[in-house]
Structure 1
Amino acid sequence: MEFEIWQIGILIVAAFLGGFIDAIAGGGGLICLPALMAVGIPVHVALATNKLQGSFGTFASTITFTKKGYINFKDIYLGIIFTFLGTVLGVGLVLFINDKFLKFIIPFLLIGIVFYTIFSPNLGEIQKEAKMNKNTFFVIFGFVLGFYDGFFGPGTGSFWTFSLMGILGYTMKNAVANTKVLNFTSNIAALIVFTFAGEILWKIGILMGIAQMLGSYIGSNLVIKKDVKFIKTLFLAMVVVTILKIFLDIFKNS
C-alpha cells in the first residue's frame, strides 16, 4: 500500500499518543488501531500492524520499568510463558470462533473493574498480601489473558493491572510496570503468528513503532514520578473509554 505524507504523519502522531497513554494506563490500541483503519488499511492488516508497532512501545516501557527496579522477572516468568502460549492459541483461533459473546460480556467485566476501583480507595497504594499463590495466578491468568489478547484484545492491560493489584496485592506502579512485560509478551506472540500469515505492513509498523517507543518512554517515566491518584484516575478514564468503544462497536455491527 502507498500512503500520502499526511497519512503517515497522522499515524506517527497516533503512535506517539498511544505509546504515552498505554505506558501510564493501558488502552493505547484504542488510539492506534482506529488511526490505521482511518487511512484505509484493511482490518486484519491493521490488527497485525498494530501488534508490530505496539511491541516497540511495550518494549520501551519494559526497559524503563526494569531499570527503575519495578519488575522482578523471577516472579513473573510463568506469566510470560503462559501469556505467550495463550496468545498464540487466541490468534490461531480468532478466525474460527464467533467473538460476539466476548464483545457482549467484556464491557460488563470492565464496568465491574471501574466500580471496584472507585469503591476501594486504597487499592494499589500500598503492597498487600496476595490472595492466591503467585505461580498459580500467573499460570491461570497468563493463559486466559494471553488467549483473550490474541483473540479479542481491548482491555487486556486493564485486566492485568487490576488483577495484579486485587489478587496479588501489587501497588499500582508495580502492577502497571509488570503489565507492560506481559503486554509485550502477548504482542510478540501475536506478531509471530501474523508474520507467518503475511499480514503486516512493515514500513508503517516500524515508523509507528519508533514514535510509540518515544511516547512509551515519556509515559513510563511519568508513572514513576507521579503519585498513585494520578495514575488511578487515568487508568479509570481509559477503562471507561474502552467500555464505550466496545459498546459502540456492538451497536454499529448490530
Structure 2
Amino acid sequence: MLEISFDLVLILVAAAFAAGFVDSIAGGGGLITIPALLLAGIPPVTALATNKVQGLFGAGMAAVTYARAGHVVLRRQIGPAALSFSGAVLGALLAGSLPTDVIRLGLPVLLIAIALFFALRPGLSDIDRTARIGPLAFALGFVPVIGFYDGLLGPGTGAFFMLGFVSLAGYGILRATAHTKLLNFASNVGGLAGFLLVAKPFWMLGLLMGAAQIAGAYLGSTLASRAGARLIRPVLVTASTALALKLVWDWF
C-alpha cells in the first residue's frame, strides 16, 4: 500500500462524508471520492476498487434510514437488488473488453438531459404518478442494465436509477430516492466483487472512508426524508450537471 500521510487520510475521510451526504440524496458521490483518491496518488484501478468499498457503506446506510422512515420496504426489493448485483458483476468483468471510451462520450449528454428533466419537467413532486411499465418489467428490463453500467463505469448510477423510478415506475421523488439506495448498494457490492478479480482495494482506507460515508449518508437521508422533493430536486440537478462538466473537463 502507498504511504498516505495522516493529513491526507483526514482529507479523504472528509471527502467520503461529503460524498455520503450527496449520494444519499441524489447520487453522484463518486464525483467527490474518485478524484480525491486519484489526487492522493492511488493507481486508477485500485482507486475505483477502493471507491466501491467505501461507497457501499453509504448506500447501505441510506437504504436503512429511508426504510426506517417508512419510504421503502427493503424485503420487497431483494429480487431487484439481486438483479442489480448480477448486472454489476458482469459489467465489472467486462470492463476491460468493452468500448467504455465510446460510452463515456455520451455520458455528459445523458447526465445533462437528466438534470434538465428534473429541473424543468412540471408536476414533479413526492406524489406518485401513473406507472408506464409494471414492477416485473421494470425489475427485469431496467434494473440489471443500470447495475451492469455501475460495474462497467459507475458515474451517475444513482441518477439513472432515479430517472427510471420517476419516469417509468411513476414514483414520487422521495419514494424514488428511497428505492434507489438498496439497488445502488447491491450494484456497489457486485462491482466490488468483479473488481476483486483484477485489483486489490486499500481495505483499511476504504473502511475508514466507509465509516464517514455512513455518517454523511445518515445525515443526508434524514434531511431528505423530511424535506422531500424540495431538497432532492436541486441536489440531483446540481450533482448531475457537475458530473457532466467533470467528465467533459477530463476529456481536455
2:71 is matched with 70
1:207 is matched with 208
1:19 is matched with 20
Q: Distance in 1 between matches of 2:118 and 2:245?
A: 18
Point out where structure 2 has 5 or more consecutive residues left out of the alignment.
none
Pairwise CA distance, 1:124: 3.5
Q: Distance in 2 between matches of 1:155 and 1:249?
A: 15
Pairwise CA distance, 1:248: 1.3
Contact 1:20–1:218, Cα closer than 8 Å, also in 2: yes
1:105 is matched with 106
1:197 is matched with 198
2:226 is matched with 225
Q: Distance in 2 between matches of 1:133 and 1:180?
A: 20
1:156 is matched with 157
My pick for the range that moved more, 115-124 or 96-105, is: 115-124
Pairwise CA distance, 1:193: 2.2
1:143 is matched with 144
The TM-score normalised by the length of structure 2 is: 0.95
Secondary structure of 2:129's counterpart equals coil
2:40 is matched with 39
Pairwise CA distance, 1:178: 1.0
Amino acid at match of 1:184: F
What are the within-5 Å matches in structure 2 for residues 84-95 of structure 1?
Answer: 84-95=85-96
Secondary structure of 2:142's counterpart equals helix
1:168 is matched with 169
Contact 1:78–1:139, Cα closer than 8 Å, also in 2: no
Point out where structure 1 has 5 or more consecutive residues left out of the alignment.
none
Could you say what the CA RMSD is over the residues aligned between the two structures, in angstroms? 1.3
Pairwise CA distance, 1:198: 4.3
2:29 is matched with 28
Q: Distance in 2 between matches of 1:77 and 1:223?
A: 23
Show CA shifts across 1:97-134 (max 9, x none): 22121111122122222222233121243111111011
Q: Distance in 1 between matches of 2:17 and 2:191?
A: 21
Pairwise CA distance, 1:95: 1.1
Amino acid at match of 1:249: D
2:238 is matched with 237
The TM-score normalised by the length of structure 1 is: 0.95
Secondary structure of 1:21's counterpart equals helix
Show CA shifts across 1:13-35 (max 9, x none): 00111101111111111101111
Secondary structure of 2:241's counterpart equals helix
Show CA shifts across 1:57-108 (max 9, x none): 1111111111111112354333212111110110001111221211111221
Show CA shifts across 1:188-245 (max 9, x none): 1112222343421001000100011001011110101114122101110001011101
1:123 is matched with 124
Q: Distance in 2 between matches of 1:56 and 1:85?
A: 19
Question: What number of residue pairs does the alignment pair up?
Answer: 251
Q: Distance in 2 between matches of 1:73 and 1:193?
A: 24
Contact 1:53–1:206, Cα closer than 8 Å, also in 2: yes
